[in-house]
Amino acid sequence: MGLFTEIFSWWSGNTWGTRFFTWRKGKLVGEDEFGNRYYVQRSGVGPLGVPARWVTYKTLSEASQVPPEWHGWLHYTVDELPTQERYEPKPWQKPHKMNMTGTPQAYRPQGSILGSGPRAKTTSDYRPWTPQ
């Protein structure tokens, strides 16, 4: 990450403020396959009455990049670190795919403004107002 980006943008990952806060208060507990790093509050408790947990993203700050096992740990669903347990993904869990909203690969159902084809009819379909 470039110095300019780190100073002036919050959406591209680590900022100087985040880096300083993490250096002062955080203890590194693990890293996932995307290079995201996970931290726990070194001492004391956070606003929930337990030590705070957070992630610093390797690239863009996008929450969908957090794998399921780390998501559970970040949200206090599980107490054991994914690095300390054998996590077996469920058969229905798919590999990560970045959120495509706002890109040409975004989901556009048939009949939407940017989609192709006519909109599907519904039981109480819309009827436009016409003056009488």
Is 46 inside any structural domain? yes
Residues in the chain, pLDDT under 70: 1-13, 123-125
| Helix, strand, coil content of the chain in percent (nearest 5) | 20, 10, 70
The pLDDT value recorded for residue 119 is 72
The pLDDT value recorded for residue 5 is 66
Contact indicator for 13, 58 with CB cutoff of 8 Å? yes
Q: Domain containing 61: what range?
A: 3-74
Is 20 inside any structural domain? yes
Which residues make Cβ contacts (< 8 Å) with residue 44, sequence separation at least 6? 51
Total domains in the chain come to 1
Is 17 inside any structural domain? yes
Listed in sequence order, the DSSP H helices in the chain are 3-8, 16-25, 68-74
Helices and strands, counts by H and E, the chain: 3, 3
Which residue from 39, 41, 99 is spatially nearest to 65, judged by alpha carbons? 99
CA distances from 33 to 61, 75, 98 (A): 16, 19, 14
Is 118 inside any structural domain? no
Backbone angles phi, psi at 50, to 5 degrees: -130, 160
Is 79 inside any structural domain? no
Is 112 inside any structural domain? no
The pLDDT value recorded for residue 12 is 63
Task: Give the pair of three-digit tokens for residue 77.
Answer: 């669903």
The pLDDT value recorded for residue 44 is 85
Is 24 inside any structural domain? yes
What would the pLDDT profile of 54-75 be if each residue is shown by its tens digit?
998 888 777 888 888 899 899 9
The pLDDT value recorded for residue 63 is 82
Is 88 inside any structural domain? no
pTM greater than 0.85? no
The pLDDT value recorded for residue 11 is 62
